[in-house]
Amino acid sequence: MALNPAQIYDPRHHTFESWASLMCELYAAQNLEIPTVFTDWKSWGNGLNAIDVFSNEATPRTDQYNDWLSWAEAMVAAVNPSTQSTS
């Protein structure tokens, strides 16, 4: 079984700024822009998608979503391992 090092924090119960700050901390070596209330979530999300661990995955593009939360939830579904049993 291949190990996927990429992980995404659950965005529920977060503002964009708090969730994106957690992601900046998790991927600190990538020097992502630290979000503010003025940060464009699509531009920031494109930067996250450009990180090699995500660019090698089938991650959703920001231009497919109208709001950051829907996109972030799709990122979780695409990247994080499923917790559902297959048996």
Residue ranges covered by each domain of the chain: 12-58
Q: Which residue has the higher pLDDT, 48 or 81?
A: 48
Q: Tell me: pLDDT of 42 over 60.
A: yes
Q: d(Cα 28, Cα 4) in Å, to the nearest integer?
A: 18
pLDDT in tens, 6-31: 678 899 999 999 999 999 999 888 99
Looking at residue 7, what is its pLDDT?
A: 78
Say which DSSP state 8 is in. Answer: -
- The answer to whether 55 and 77 have CB atoms below 8 angstroms apart is no
Is the pLDDT higher at 10 or at 86? Answer: 10
